[in-house]
Amino acid sequence: MNLLVIRISVGLAEIIIFQVGAIILGFALSLFLTSRKNTRLQMQQTAESSAIPEADEWKLKYFDYTEEMEKKLAKMQHELKNARDNEQFLAIEIDSVRKEREELLESQAEQLASPTKQTDNYLEQLQDAQQSMLQHNQRVHQLISQIESLKAMEQKQLELIQANDLLNKQMGDMRIQLVEKENEIRGLRQQNRLGAEMQQRLERVYGDYNDLLEKMRKLEAHVAGSQRDTSSFAELQDTYFKVTKEFDEFKMKYLNLLEESQRATRTIAELEDKHREANFQRSQLQKKVTYLEELNRDLQQVAEHHNKLHSQMRRLSEIEQLLAKATQLSSGTDREESGV
């Protein structure tokens, strides 16, 4: 029995050391991820210092949210590992308690089978029985403390389920945001098509303007060659005035279209920036959805381990009842021997 208690205490110390090592490892991983995210964020801020302020703010929020989700995932993985370690430890504890119960029942059966032995070493046997009872009581207290820790783990499991529901809700919101971003991308593509049509119209106006200049050069050459013809000079002058007026009108149209072209060029540049930003946001949202789906699968694994631990707790309660019966039986035999 003493060797068994020493073996169990060494197992508990090792489990505590493993848990402390896992906590240190999780802290180191979270620190590494945080530093990597901070460096990535600084590089993006220096590279995109001239971008739109709203896009920068959205990126900052996204990276903060991603970092927080990674921390939660690391914490849940650590709790899952602890639950698996506790499950293994409880299985070992159950086997050891079962062996102790069998040894105790065998010893009690031997004592009941030989009631006619001499009672010279009665005090020594009574002390051994008391020591074994004390050791059993210590084991029962240890099992009770472990059951309380399992109840605390069950409470954590409920919190994890609530967190899973919250993450599912966030996944739904992100899918809605993804649909909205896709609608914005379609709108940007339509605006790009409108800008391309505007560019084509501007090119046609440039062609008409060049044709008009060519006509004016021909007209000026014709007027210079026919200055001696006084009869047609007045008509040519009227025609020249009309062409000059049309030229001024086309020039005004050209200037207006040039301004519209510049505005359209600026609009196209802004739309291209928004299009790139929307594509980036869409890819990030898709990554976030896959990340949350993986987290949901991990939570389902945690729920399965919780069910296993619940069955182990039920077995522990049965073992406690058997130990109580064995204790009562041993105390009854001690009283009978003392009466004899």
Least reliable range by pLDDT among 3-7, 77-81, 128-132: 3-7
In a domain, 195, yes or no: no
In a domain, 289, yes or no: yes
In a domain, 333, yes or no: no
Residue 18 scores a pLDDT above 80: no
- Whole-prediction pTM: 0.31
In a domain, 80, yes or no: yes
pLDDT for the residue numbered 51: 43
Q: Rounded mean pLDDT of 168-188?
A: 78
- SS3 for the chain, per residue? CHHHHHHHHHHHHHHHHHHHHHHHHHHHHHHHHHHHHHHHHHHHHHHCCCCCHHHHHHHHHHHHHHHHHHHHHHHHHHHHHHHHHHHHHHHHHHHHHHHHHHHHHHHHHHHHHCCCCCCCCHHHHHHHHHHHHHHHHHHHHHHHHHHHHHHHHHHHHHHHHHHHHHHHHHHHHHHHHHHHHHHHHHHHHHHHHHHHHHHHHHHHHHHHHHHHHHHHHHHHHHHHHCCCCHHHHHHHHHHHHHHHHHHHHHHHHHHHHHHHHHHHHHHHHHHHHHHHHHHHHHHHHHHHHHHHHHHHHHHHHHHHHHHHHHHHHHHHHHHHHHHHHHHHHHHHHHHHHHHC
Confidence of residue 29 (pLDDT cuts 50, 70, 90): low
Q: Rounded mean pLDDT of 13-40?
A: 62
In a domain, 158, yes or no: yes
In a domain, 252, yes or no: no
pLDDT for the residue numbered 8: 42
Highest mean pLDDT of the ranges 77-86, 152-161, 267-276:
267-276
pLDDT for the residue numbered 325: 78
In a domain, 198, yes or no: no
Number of domains, the chain? 1
Residue 284 sits in which domain range?
Answer: 2-103+131-180+271-328
pLDDT for the residue numbered 66: 65
Residue 226 scores a pLDDT above 60: no
In a domain, 227, yes or no: no
